[in-house]
Amino acid sequence: MFEGENPLQAVMTFLDAGGPVVYALLVLAVVLWTLILERLMYYRWQMPTDVKRCMADWQARPDHHSWHAHKIKQRRVSEAQRHWRARLSLIKALVALCPMMGLLGTVTGMIHVFHVMAVLGTGNARAMAAGISTATLPTMAGMVIAISGLYFVSRLEQRVQRARHHLHDQMVTH
């Protein structure tokens, strides 16, 4: 089924066999991975400078223990975390969407199969096979995207939590 002459051809064959839902999943996957990559790059390069700037600000303060100092520290950490957490919930939602999209593809594929049955009867298994591949390929694609995304979601969450604790601990209050 997928033995195209080149990889692009194979991908196109896969997308055609899976129906429109696989195209939607492809878009979803591209968006999801762009967001994940953006976050990873952000944590790699932007996060240390954020921490450094916060620490410099904190060190520049003469007062490290009053109510004001506590509130200001809380604000700094919260602000930093808000930047770090930006789009994480979107990534989570996208990951949650993938299996649902897969299920959508399954049902549209089944509709296709039943339509074929309505037109040609149950005798023609080959005509039904196209619908069945429309039913199963999106499920598989959705699962693959969701599972691969899940790992990164938890990794990114962990990363933010650790960085927040780290920043909180570094900004010493006496």
Partner 1 sequence: MRRACAMALLGIAAFTAVAPAFPQPPQDLDALLQKTRDARASDARGLDERVQRFRDERDIRATEMREAQQRRDAAVARSESLLAEFDENEVALTEGQTQLDARSGNLGEVFGVVRQVSGDFASQSQNSIITLEHPARQARLDQLATANALPSAEALEQLWLDLLQEIVETGKVSRFSAPVVDARGAVTDAEVVRVGPFTATAGARFLVRESAAEAFTALSAQPPRGLRQRAATLAAAPSGEVQRVDVDPSRGALLGVLVQTPGIAERIQSGGWVGAVIIALGLAGVLLALERFIVLARVGGRIRRQRKDIAAPTGDNPLGRVLQVYTRQPELEPETLELKLDDAVLREIPALEVRLVWLKILAAVAPLLGLLGTVTGMILTFQQITLFGTGDPKLMAGGISQALVTTVLGLIVAIPMVLLHAMLNARSKGLIQVLEEESAGLIAEQSERRPQGQARVGV
Asked if residue 2 binds partner 1 (CB under 8 A), the reply is no
Write the interaction track for partner 1 spanning residues 60-79; mark x where CB under 8 A is met and - where it is not: ---x--xxxx-xxxxxx-xx
Site for partner 1 in 85-104 (CB under 8 A): 89-90, 92-94, 96-97, 100-101, 103-104
Which of residues 30, 111, 125, 147 is near partner 1 by CB under 8 A?
A: 111
The torsion region of residue 131 among left (phi > 0), alpha (psi -120 to 50) and beta comes to alpha
Asked if residue 107 binds partner 1 (CB under 8 A), the reply is yes
Asked if residue 118 binds partner 1 (CB under 8 A), the reply is yes
Q: Is residue 1 a contact partner of residue 117, using CB atoms and an 8 Å limit?
A: no
- Least distance from partner 1 to the Cβ atom of residue 25, Å: 11
For residue 81, give every residue at least 6 positions away whose Cβ sits within 8 Å of its Cβ, in sequence order, or none: 160, 163, 164
Count, residues near partner 1 per rule CB under 8 A: 41
- Least distance from partner 1 to the Cβ atom of residue 99, Å: 10
Query: ∠ CA 114-10-127 to the nearest 5 degrees?
Result: 20
Asked if residue 82 binds partner 1 (CB under 8 A), the reply is yes
Helix (H) or strand (E) holding 68: helix 67-85
Q: Is residue 106 a contact partner of residue 139, using CB atoms and an 8 Å limit?
A: yes
